[in-house]
């Protein structure tokens, strides 16, 4: 399972990178705004800064909602750095854009996916990644993990190559359960990634080992 971090915060990306388990980064317009990154020039520079920290794929989202605009923005993003993956919303024009970029050999991440039908369309349109937002489904009394399970089933039935990128991950058990269900990738906050480290028995056990070592020396 690949681990992506879902942030535009460079310090957090650096910290995740030093752990040695990071495979990529996802961003979105809200995450960029949260870091105070505004204006086209600054936004594009920020994407390059992120690419220079990590080795893997970096999702950068288009703002346009029409095909022509998505193609123009997506091509400009893809030309920024070889690690950029163009993030396209799951709307009608977006499906056309996914097809266009697939034919052009440009990697895409289909975002804002909330149903199996949408995931099926994204795969048929040749998306590199599909991003079901499991946390936002949970927030709306709908089981996000069930969506991952169902997309896995459908993609395996037809050997679709589109990778399931579990998004809107909120906590460690989202990550663990997505891994059990066979999600190819998860993207979540640093807190969820580092949360996987924690177990009280590890801390108690280590304290005991160190104390016993001290007694013997």
**Which segments of 70-210 are extended strands (E)?**
84-89, 108-113, 129-132, 163-166, 185-188
The nearer residue to ligand E4P, 177 or 205, going by C-beta atoms, is 177
The nearer residue to ligand E4P, 179 or 206, going by C-beta atoms, is 179
Measured CA to CA, the distance from residue 121 to residue 92 in angstroms comes to 10
The nearer residue to ligand E4P, 146 or 202, going by C-beta atoms, is 146
Q: Does residue 111 bind ligand E4P (CB under 6 A)?
A: yes
Q: Does residue 136 bind ligand E4P (CB under 6 A)?
A: yes
Measured CA to CA, the distance from residue 153 to residue 162 in angstroms comes to 13
The nearer residue to ligand E4P, 58 or 106, going by C-beta atoms, is 58
Give the range of 8-16, 116-124, 132-140, 203-211 binding ligand E4P by CB under 6 A: 132-140
Greatest Cα pair distance, the chain, in angstroms, is 72
- Which residue in 119, 130, 167, 175 binds ligand E4P (CB under 6 A)? 167
Pattern 12-51, ligand E4P, x by CB under 6 A: --------------x-x-----------------------
Cβ 212 to ligand E4P, closest distance in Å? 43
Q: Does residue 133 bind ligand E4P (CB under 6 A)?
A: yes
Measured CA to CA, the distance from residue 66 to residue 112 in angstroms comes to 16
Contact between 8 and 32 under an 8 Å Cβ cutoff? The reply is yes
HSE (CB half, 13 Å, CA atoms) of 33?
5
Catalytic site residue 215? Answer: no
- Those residues with Cβ within 8 angstroms of residue 207's Cβ, 6 or more apart along the chain or in another chain: none
Contact between 148 and 142 under an 8 Å Cβ cutoff? The reply is no
Q: Does residue 6 bind ligand E4P (CB under 6 A)?
A: yes
How would you classify the pairing of strands 185-188 and 57-61? Answer: unpaired
Q: Which of 87, 180, 194, 214 is catalytic?
A: 87
By the criterion CB under 6 A, which residues form the site for ligand E4P?
Answer: 6, 26, 28, 111, 131, 133, 135-136, 167-168, 187
Residues identified as active-site? 87
């Amino acid at each position: 399972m690949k681990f992506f971090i879902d942030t535009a915060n460079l310090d957090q990306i650096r910290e995740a990178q030093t752990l040695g388990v990071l495979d990529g980064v996802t961003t979105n317009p809200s995450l960029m705004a949260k870091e105070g990154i505004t204006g086209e020039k600054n936004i594009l520079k920020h994407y390059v800064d992120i690419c220079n920290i990590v080795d893997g794929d970096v999702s950068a989202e288009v703002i346009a909602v029409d095909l022509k605009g998505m193609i123009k923005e997506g091509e400009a993003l893809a030309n920024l750095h070889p690690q950029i993956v163009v993030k396209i919303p799951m709307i009608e024009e977006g499906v056309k854009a996914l097809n266009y970029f697939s034919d052009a050999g440009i990697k895409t991440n289909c975002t804002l996916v909330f149903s199996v039908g949408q995931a099926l369309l994204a795969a048929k349109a040749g998306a590199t990644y599909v991003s079901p937002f499991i946390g936002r489904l949970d927030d709306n009394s709908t089981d996000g993990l069930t969506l991952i399970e169902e997309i896995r089933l459908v993609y395996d039935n037809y050997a679709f190559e589109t990778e399931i990128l579990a998004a809107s991950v909120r906590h460690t058990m989202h990550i663990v359960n997505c891994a059990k269900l066979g999600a190819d990738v998860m993207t979540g906050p640093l807190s969820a990634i580092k949360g996987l480290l924690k177990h009280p028995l590890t801390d108690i056990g280590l304290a005991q080992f160190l104390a016993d070592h001290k007694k013997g020396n």
